[in-house]
Amino acid sequence: MAAPVSNGEELELHVDSLAFGGNGVARLDGFVVFVRRGLPGDTVRARVTKVKRGFAEATALEILTAGPDRVVAPCPHFGACGGCRFQDYAYDRQLESKAAQVRDALVRLGGIAEPPIDPIVPAASQYHYRNKLEYSFTQTPDGPALGFHRAGRWDEVLPLEVCLLTTDLGNRIRDAVQGWAREEKLVAYDQTDQKGYLRHLVFREGRNTGQVLVQLVTAKGKKFEEGYLVEVLRKFPEVRSIHWAINETPAEITNLPTVLLWGEDAIEEEILGLRFRVRPNAFLQTNTEMAETLYSIAREFAGLTGSETVYDLYCGTGTIGLTLAPDALTVWGVEISEESVACAIENAELNGITNAAFFAGNVSLALEELQQRAGQPDVVVVDPPRAGLAGKALRRLGRLRAPRIVYVSCNPTTLASDLKSLREDFGYELVRCRPVDMFPHTPHIETVNLLERVERPADATPPDEG
């Protein structure tokens, strides 16, 4: 049966609900249309942008009748900017939608009829919560400007007057760098023709320490006098570390080797009373307030008494493992990034923690050696990337037969799939799931999950497939 809509067609649609990822769901004679910028209760005029066999995608052009939960977005760039797409959706409704998406994934994909979900934890701050922002340069008639990509466009950057996700300090430092770039008559890099020089500005702020790291990313060559950039940035006493990186590839990346132009090579952040060194490429949750909440829940679910051996898989710079270490016998962290492992070891030394060890390696390949060295784990903490646990890592995690697994997830769909495998193949049951809103006004949602293993005959465990 042919789709009842065509690409480019304009339709009047009524939005019923939100889909995973944040698009509104409308139906035209039973045919599903996902509507970007459509909220539940809205009646919109929308243009179809993509047609598939079973659904279509559209973008709302005009709100004909606003739904009851639509509010005025405070950001002057809302709608044009690609971030913060739910600023116009009442915050309590955002929370309900995110909790519903977690439940739907666990039921539909995880096969859990009645998932044990705790009430969602709201964000402590709805704005000014990010400790890291990555800006792109763009060329304007006034010279280079800093901003974010326009909604739905990879090749166009929207210059910013203000960003409500960073602090006043973050906005002032961005403006100072923009002023420096114009004064120096530098040219922004153009992603389409791949010409120009200035590419990105990375701003990192220790929210509990007040320390700031700034990283400039350019195309190849040194076309600026570093002393003047340092002078401009040192007018802000919070700036402790200034780095420069070169990106010679077309890809828009900032995770690059850097040259220290001035100051310390890292800044520090404080989380749950522990100090963590933050370098340009170090991973740290971008919402410091809610990272403390997330790690506190992980510690609660781990249920440590001081006698446990804990594995911290995908440990990053050791933040979760080090917050667990005071309540554990030993903590053993594994992370594929050697730089992150070096940071984790340094963070352990910085905090005087002697019962935590960290190793570089692929989780799926390192578990057997880790088990030989560390012994059987009592608790395993996993915090994988959005893609979830890889096949081998998932199977070898299950074969550890740890009594408890604390699974920190940033993607309900991959979480649900992994939980289904752990239940069906290895006897793990989901005991608790607590959603945490780390990123207000976005579709993203984190969860902390407690799994406990139900004993069953050893021959029921599937063989390792290599």
Q: How far is CA 53 from the centre of its chain?
A: 32
Task: Report d(CA 50, CA 32) in Å as an integer.
Answer: 12
Q: Comparing C-alpha atoms, which of 312, 320, 241, 313 is closest to residue 281? A: 241
127: tokens are: 């704005």
Task: Report d(CA 51, CA 7) in Å as an integer.
Answer: 6
Outline where DSSP puts E strands in 122-257.
132-140, 143-149, 157-159, 198-205, 212-218, 239-246
Strands 330-335 vs 356-360: parallel, antiparallel or unpaired? parallel
Cα Rg, the chain, nearest whole Å: 24
Sheet holding 258-263, edge to edge: 157-159, 143-149, 132-140, 198-205, 212-218, 239-246, 258-263
452: tokens are: 């406990």
Count of positions (residues) in the chain: 466
Task: Report d(CA 17, CA 23) in Å as an integer.
Answer: 9
* Strand, coil or helix: 368: helix
At position 360, the amino acid (one-letter code) is: A
Task: Report d(CA 49, CA 72) in Å as an integer.
Answer: 26
Is 163 an annotated catalytic residue? no
Beta bridge partners of 405: 380, 451
Task: Report d(CA 162, CA 158) in Å as an integer.
Answer: 11
435: tokens are: 């959603």
Place of tokens 């997330």: 294
Q: What sign does the CA torsion over 374, 378, 383, 385 have?
A: positive
Residues 6 or more apart in contact with residue 298 via CB below 8 angstroms:
320, 323, 324, 381, 406, 408, 448
413: tokens are: 């769909």
Q: Comparing C-alpha atoms, which of 367, 365, 362, 358 is closest to residue 340? A: 358
Task: Report d(CA 432, CA 441) in Å as an integer.
Answer: 25
CA distances from 437 to 12, 405, 443 (A): 32, 21, 10
**Active site residue: 315, 343, 410, 433, which one?**
410
Indicate which residues carry an active-site annotation: 410
